[in-house]
C-alpha cells in the first residue's frame, strides 16, 4: 500500500467579484470542481485563516480514512 503523506487539498483565496473590497475562499480537492463558500471576508488574511481552519478539519478526516 502506498504511503499517504500529501493530502489532496489546496486553498484558494481571491477577491469577491460580487462584493468589491471583500474576499472569498475555497478548498479544492484534486480532481474536483472548484467551489467558493457563500461567505465573504473583510480581508485576505481573514479569508485565509477561515480556509486554513476548515483545511485542518478536512486533513484530519482524510488521515482517519487512510488509517
Task: Give the CA count within 13 Å in the CB-facing half-sphere of 60.
Answer: 6
Q: Are 16 and 23 in contact (CB under 8 A)?
A: yes
Element (H, E) at 29: strand 23-29
Which tens digit of pLDDT belongs to each residue from 9-29? 999 999 998 899 999 999 888
Task: Give the CA count within 13 Å in the CB-facing half-sphere of 13.
Answer: 16
Q: Are 16 and 25 in contact (CB under 8 A)?
A: no
Q: Are 27 and 9 in contact (CB under 8 A)?
A: yes
**Domain segments of the chain: what residues?**
9-33+41-66
Which tens digit of pLDDT belongs to each residue from 24-52? 999 888 878 777 778 999 999 999 999 99
Amino acid at each position: 500500500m502506498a504511503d499517504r503523506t500529501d493530502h489532496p487539498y489546496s486553498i484558494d483565496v481571491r477577491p469577491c467579484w460580487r462584493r468589491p473590497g471583500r474576499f472569498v475562499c475555497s478548498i479544492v480537492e484534486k480532481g474536483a470542481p472548484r467551489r467558493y463558500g457563500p461567505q465573504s471576508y473583510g480581508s485576505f488574511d481573514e479569508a485565509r485563516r477561515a480556509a486554513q481552519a476548515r483545511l485542518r478539519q478536512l486533513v484530519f478526516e482524510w488521515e482517519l480514512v487512510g488509517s
